Amino acid sequence: MSTREVVALSVGGMRFVTRAATLQQFPESRLARMLHDGDREFRLLNGEFFVDRDGTLFSYIMDFLRTLQVSLPTDFSDYQRLQREAEFYGLYPLADLLSQEHLQKPRREILEVRFSLQETQAFFRIFGSCSATLETLAEQITVFSGHSWNSPFPAQKPLIPLPLERPSHHDMVFQCGTDYCAGDRFVARYVSIKPDTRKLMNGTNVLGLLLDTLLKDGFRLVSTRTVSSEEKIECYSFERMQRPTGLTIKVNHTPGSSGAAQAKRSQVQKGK
């Protein structure tokens, strides 16, 4: 059969059309041998190969053959079933990768919010075990600054957005409220947290919105404690169990080489 010829497969009631060369990426695989051997599991009916297997999982198999990687969604949990399908089709590099236990276990994510209220200002510091979560949160939070004379409530527009302080990939710092500048000049800082469109200056209100945002994002409040009574620093600890935000599995493979080619894993997730 020519490598330019088109092959149609019906897998579990789902139809797939591909090139023969794609199915021959791993010559030792069952899919490659299917084109020449009389395998009872692959029956040729009306010009299509009929396979009584899971069609949805086979879409990941085809993705792997076409790109030498397979991207799994965040909520994917059928690692063992996909591993069995990879073994059935003789794609052992993929099966070996999917057998790794840590792929199937959700990770525990920790996040801590420190809040300090000092006269007319409130200070926030957020620590997180996953830098990807901090990056996402940093995109949601915007601090705006405004100036005025003889009034702590500047009304002029537009307010100027300020960058968040990022001491490291795992924490961020920002503040809200009012402060004196030179002479009788006031500086006011407002905080907005998407998807809420309000610009809040009161520290207690900002804290409430921040905690509510984290709870809606799947975090669970674990504890509340006072870190320093003198500096009035309160600490709110959160945790959540979460699977990786997406998984991409790749193999080192030269087209036409042995199906036992060396495999390696690559995870598409910041902070790992």
Q: Within this chain, do residues 180 and 217 fall inside the same structural domain, yes or no?
A: yes
Q: Is residue 235 part of a domain?
A: yes
Contact 164, 173 (CB under 8 A): yes
Span 176-188, average pLDDT: 75
pLDDT tens by residue, 83-114: 999 999 999 988 888 887 556 566 789 999 99
* pLDDT of amino acid 268: 34
Q: Is residue 116 part of a domain?
A: yes
Q: Give the global pTM.
A: 0.56
Q: Within this chain, do residues 10 and 23 fall inside the same structural domain, yes or no?
A: yes
SS (H, E, C) 166-234: EEECCEEEEEEEEEECCCCEEEEEEEEECCCCCCECCHHHHHHHHHHHHHHCCCEEEEEEEEECCCCEE
Q: Within this chain, do residues 116 and 225 fall inside the same structural domain, yes or no?
A: yes
How does residue 156 score in pLDDT terms, banded at 50, 70 and 90? low
Whose tokens are 């520290």? That residue is: 203
* pLDDT of amino acid 158: 76
SS3 content of the chain, % helix, strand, coil (to 5): 25, 40, 35
Helix axes 55-67, 79-88, angle to 10 degrees: 70
Q: Within this chain, do residues 153 and 189 fall inside the same structural domain, yes or no?
A: yes
* pLDDT of amino acid 270: 32
Q: Within this chain, do residues 164 and 91 fall inside the same structural domain, yes or no?
A: no
pLDDT at 264 over 80: no
Domain boundary among 104, 124, 145: 104
| 199/205 Cα distance (integer angstroms) | 10
CA angle, 101 as apex, 100 and 107 as ends, to 5°?
Answer: 125
Contact 240, 129 (CB under 8 A): no
Q: 233 is in which domain, residue-wise?
A: 108-242
Number of separate domains in the chain? 2
| 143/160 Cα distance (integer angstroms) | 8
| 28/24 Cα distance (integer angstroms) | 8
| 183/47 Cα distance (integer angstroms) | 86
How many Å from the N-terminal Cα to the C-terminal Cα in the chain? Answer: 45
Going from the C-alpha of 88 to that of each of 51, 57, 58, 92, 109, the distances in angstroms are 11, 12, 11, 9, 35
